[in-house]
Amino acid sequence: MVESRTPLRWRAWALQALLVLVVAALVYAAAANAAQKLAKQGIVAGFGFLGRGAGFDIGQHLIPYAAATATYLDAFWVGLLNTLLVSALAIGLATLIGFTLGIARRAPNVLARTLAATYVETIRNVPLLLQLLVWYVAVRKALPGPADPAHLGSGAFLSQRGLFLPRPDLSGWGWLVPGAVGVGILATLVLVRLRRRAVEAGRRPLPVLVPGIVLVVGSGPLVGIGLALAGHPVAIAWPARGPYDIEGGLAILPEFAALLIGLSVYSAAFIAEIVRAGLDSVARGQGEAAAALALSRGQALRLVILPQALRVIVPPLTSQYLNITKNSSLAVLIGYPDLVHVFMGTVLNQTNQAVEVVALTMAVYLTISLVTAFAMNRYNARVVGPAR
């Protein structure tokens, strides 16, 4: 037996060595070709170009960015933050819509069931790219032009150029407002924790929902009013008509809005299917037992069925979240300055550093994929709970 296995093992290792050699040779050949061509073009390999001045403007930036002083590295961060912003918001919105639809597909109301099924079957069978064009081109065209924007009341405007909202100025004393909201969120989390302890200890739990809402929603305005009374009112930047457009305030650009809505609507269809499959995986008796214990439908769903369904839901939901992040790169089509648009579009063309730019962009997405997968795995471990 040993004699017959040894040559086999030898062959296996030879095969693998060959594989390594072939891959190494291919990589070497590719690198040599690239190096030769780049040298011919006079392009210096390496990431030194990131420190050079960018010289172009970007329509939306979360961090300070000015064409005069910004470097290519700054442009990279601007693009990355824009990608993260739209992905995070789309993940939240798609989860909300997707869970609603998934639950609606198992609702007692037949209209709700049919409507949710129609939504899912229609939306997920039409390419996202096409849907983005619909939102950005067809829907935007239906909005009022920049000359006569729709006034939405309390200083908010809507036009083809975007949604313009009043923006509280949070510098100076103003930072206390977001600070208070943060404290409110923390306090709510503490309340949730206390409630869980009380339930586990068999004591009567304190109500959480109403105090939580008051803490999170009320703390900001409350501190704002307090500051005003104390003589440091929070300034609010109101959007106003400029020579061409609405200026000032918080501008939500149509590119951003179209991408956010398109991504959320599209991904929600897939999440709905995941949620439906999760609900179906929970044994019927669970719901019936909850009803027998006089739990309402909502309570049964929230306390009995969903927690069990989550075990099935979370793994595919993870890959759906990753898909949202990756799909946000379709921004390039409708002019939203995400990482691919800014970095693989403009910077690649300005610098010709194709290898570095492509490698860096792909590395970012791979990192996001790995981090998300890691975080969701940890959550998954918690949801699944101890093995039984």
Partner 1 sequence: MRFVRDHIIPPAPPPRRAGGPLAWMRNNLFAGPGNVVTTLLILGALAWIGPALARFLVLDAVWTGTSGDACRPEVIGRPVGACWAFIGEKINYLAYGSYPAAERWRPNLFFGLLALGAAWMLWLGAPRRDLGAWFVFAILPVASWLLLSGAPALGLASVATALWGGILVTLVVSAVGIVASLPLGILLALGRRSDLPVLRFACIGFIEFWRGVPLITVLFMANVMLPLFLPGDVTVDRLLRPLIGIALFASAYMAEVVRGGLQAIPAGQGQAALALGMTRAQAMRCVVLPQALKVVVPGIVNTLIGLFKDTTLVAIVGIADFVRVLEAARADPRWSAPAIPATAYAFAALFYLAVCFSMARYAGFIARRLAAGDRR
Partner 2 sequence: MRIPFAPLLGAAVLTVLTLAAPQARAEGTLAQVKARGHLVCGVSGGVAGFSMPDGQGRWRGLDVDFCRALAAAIFDDPERVRFIPQSSAARFTALQSGEIDVLARNTTWTLSRDTAAMNFPVITFYDGQGFLVRKALGITSVKQLDRATVCLQQGTTTELNLADWFRTRGLSYRVVTFANSEQALGAYESGRCDAYSTDKSSLYGERLKTARPDDHVILDEAISKEPFAPGVRQGDDQWRDLVAWTHYAMIDAEEAGITQANVVALRKEGLSPDVRRILGLEGRYGEGLGLTVDWADRIVRHVGNYGDAFARNLGEGTPLKIPRGLNALWTQGGLQYGPPIR
Binding site for partner 2 (CB under 8 A): 37, 40-43, 55-59, 67-68, 137, 140-141, 145-146, 160-161, 242-245, 247, 253-255, 332-335, 337, 341, 345-346, 348-350, 352
**Quick one: 137 or 186, whose CB is closer to partner 1?**
137
**From partner 2, partner 1, none, which one binds at residue 42 (CB under 5 to 8 Å depending on kind)?**
partner 2
Min dist CB 274 to partner 1, Å, is: 14
**Quick one: 100 or 308, whose CB is closer to partner 1?**
100
Where do contacts with partner 1 occur on this chain (CB under 8 A)?
12, 15-16, 19-20, 23, 29-31, 33-34, 36-38, 107-112, 115, 121-122, 124-130, 133-134, 137-138, 141, 322, 326-327, 329-330, 332-333, 340, 344, 348, 354-355, 358, 361-362, 365-366, 369-370
**Quick one: 216 or 332, whose CB is closer to partner 1?**
332
**Quick one: 20 or 199, whose CB is closer to partner 1?**
20
Min dist CB 114 to partner 1, Å, is: 9
The two three-digit tokens of residue 276, written as one number: 């439906």
Min dist CB 31 to partner 1, Å, is: 8
Min dist CB 253 to partner 2, Å, is: 8
Distance (Å, whole) CA 227 – CA 222 = 9
109 CB contacts (<8 Å, ≥6 apart)?
none
**Quick one: 57 or 280, whose CB is closer to partner 2?**
57
Handedness of CA 352, 355, 360, 365 (dihedral sign): positive
**From partner 2, partner 1, none, which one binds at residue 361 (CB under 5 to 8 Å depending on kind)?**
partner 1
Q: In this structure, which long-range contacts are made by residues 350-359, counting pairs with CB atoms below 8 Å and at least 24 apart in sequence?
A: 350/54, 350/55, 350/56, 350/72, 351/49, 351/52, 351/72, 352/41, 352/43, 353/43, 353/49, 355/34, 355/38, 355/45, 356/45, 356/46, 356/47, 356/49
Distance (Å, whole) CA 276 – CA 298 = 16
Distance (Å, whole) CA 327 – CA 325 = 6
Min dist CB 376 to partner 1, Å, is: 14
**From partner 1, partner 2, none, which one binds at residue 358 (CB under 5 to 8 Å depending on kind)?**
partner 1
The two three-digit tokens of residue 370, written as one number: 């790995």
Q: What are phi and psi of 71, to 5 degrees?
A: -105, 175
Closest CA to 278 of 92, 111, 119, 95: 95
Min dist CB 12 to partner 1, Å, is: 5
Distance (Å, whole) CA 156 – CA 250 = 9
The two three-digit tokens of residue 146, written as one number: 């920049």
**Quick one: 28 or 175, whose CB is closer to partner 1?**
28
Tell me how crowded residue 213 is: count the other CB atoms within 10 A of its CB.
12
**From partner 1, partner 2, none, which one binds at residue 350 (CB under 5 to 8 Å depending on kind)?**
partner 2
**Residue 154: DSSP 8-state:** T
The two three-digit tokens of residue 71, written as one number: 């470097």
**From partner 1, partner 2, none, which one binds at residue 346 (CB under 5 to 8 Å depending on kind)?**
partner 2
**Quick one: 223 or 305, whose CB is closer to partner 1?**
305
Min dist CB 338 to partner 2, Å, is: 12
Tell me how crowded residue 149 is: count the other CB atoms within 10 A of its CB.
22
**Quick one: 46 or 226, whose CB is closer to partner 1?**
46
